[in-house]
Amino acid sequence: MKRTIWTLVLLSLVGLALAPAGGVIRFTVINKSGDKLILWLQGIDVKEDFVFNVALGDRSFPFVAEYTIPRSDYLLKVTYVDPQGGLSTCVQPKARKIDLNHQTRLVIAECVRVPTRKGETTMIKFRPQPR
């Protein structure tokens, strides 16, 4: 009996060691900005780029979108679109590097609100700069 258990443990460890390093992760975007969003993810290690349209959400009723993407580091660029169709008063001046090698939640707040705490290890709180 002990021998069978040790054999299973050993085979499990060998299986984990031989597992591919790539794979996919779940990327969750929580929009609390009060604007519609366009997110650009430009792959650094992978040759894939993604563009996501995120619907309008605010602090009372945030919009939550989940995406499945390859595990990698990305450059993130966020564009805020006013609900009436024009550009918002919020702007992010340059792309920001984010580590998406594990399940991650990106919380996008309002321009005027500063996040009070950093959040959990799997959470990134993003705050743009007002124009």
Q: pLDDT digits over 33-60, tens only? A: 888 888 899 988 888 899 999 998 888 8
97 lies in a domain? yes
Chain centre distance of CA 102: 9
26 lies in a domain? yes
11 lies in a domain? no
Element (H, E) at 7: helix 2-18
3 lies in a domain? no
Does position 63 have pLDDT exceeding 90, yes or no?
Answer: yes
50 lies in a domain? yes
Q: How confident is the model at residue 102 (pLDDT cuts 50, 70, 90)?
A: confident
14 lies in a domain? no
Q: What is the pLDDT of residue 3?
A: 75
| 96 CB neighbour count, 10 Å cutoff | 13
15 lies in a domain? no
Provide the domain count of the chain: 1
What CATH number corresponds to the domain at position 26? 2.60.40
What are the angstrom distances between the C-alpha of 43 and each of 73, 94, 101? 6, 15, 12
12 lies in a domain? no
Tokens 């580590």 sit on residue: 99
E strands present in 9-127: 24-31, 36-43, 49-54, 63-70, 72-81, 90-91, 96-100, 104-108, 123-126
The domain containing residue 112 runs over which residues?
A: 22-130
Give the tens place of pLDDT for each residue, 3-25. 777 776 676 666 555 445 568 99
